[in-house]
Amino acid sequence: MKLLRFGKPGAEKPGVLIDGKRFDLSAHFGDWDRHFFREAGLERLEALLNSSPNLPELPADIRWGSCIARPGKVLCIGLNYSDHAKESGMDIPQEPILFQKGANTVVGPYDDILIPRGSTKTDWEVELGIVIGKDARYLSSPADAAAYIAGYCISHDVSERAFQLERGGQWTKGKSCDNFNPLGPWLVTKDEIQNVQDLLMELSVNGVKMQNGTTSTMIFDCAYLIYYLSQFMTLEAGDLINTGTPPGVGMGMRPARFLNAGDTIELSIQGLGHQKQICVPA
């Protein structure tokens, strides 16, 4: 199944993608949120779709929202691709590097990226997002993780490098600016992804390819990340995990290159769709 949301910001409704068309499910479900996932919503959705309901098709021009409602937590893993760590000149981490983004950064896959006031180092990062399907705490092993995954999506972990690295404190300041986490266009349930550790990833800026990688070079795979994080905190249904980015970020270039107003970013992950954003001043 491919879950999506649509409508004006702050008033999105739940829908699904079937054979390339979007359909409205707001008559049957409130939203793709913590309550939906926690209360066996995916099972209820599958049963509904198998009953061949007569669902309203959405107009092509209606806005795409983020594929899930605002998550309780956005957990991010830094330096999780061996080739990205190499381009950054940093050692392979011995444990996952964890930071968080503000949950209000999550927006639609085609919404504008807002270049923060005073920013000169806004950067791009295509990432695989994991959405948690049920609460996870103290998992016994990575093998247990599959039961706690709702699905996967494209997540754009936009970053302001000066705020992140040059202004003191933790990385949160450079990660939590408005609109800094376009998500979607849809959430693909885990049963539709044959091997999540072998997906091609790409990102281009103004038509020039910058990132071209694969989830196969993750240092810590998806199952391990869920197991690991569950040892420190409860992962709640509807939470989002951003799993790291492959090489090709602007900060890693020589000379470094960053985003400006008017730039267009396009990103894709095999089997998970495509995003496109235009940069505008905040």
* pLDDT (tens digit per residue) in 30-81: 999 999 999 999 999 999 999 989 999 999 999 999 999 999 999 999 999 9
3-state helix, strand, coil in the chain (%, to 5): 20, 35, 45
What is the predicted pLDDT for the residue at 279?
98
| 133 closest CA partner among 29, 240, 237 | 237
* pLDDT (tens digit per residue) in 161-171: 999 999 887 78
Question: Which comes out higher in pLDDT, residue 177 or 85?
Answer: 177
Q: Would you tell me how many other CB atoms lie within 10 Å of the CB of residue 238?
A: 26
Helical H runs in the chain? 34-38, 41-50, 82-87, 161-165, 172-175, 222-230
Mean pLDDT value across the chain = 96
Q: Domain 74-281: give its CATH code.
A: 3.90.850.10
Rounded CA-CA distance 75/91 in Å is 21
Q: How many residues does the chain have?
A: 282
Chain region(s) in the chain for CATH 3.90.850.10 = 74-281
Q: What residues contact 227, with CB distance under 8 A and at least 6 apart? A: 139, 141, 142, 144, 145
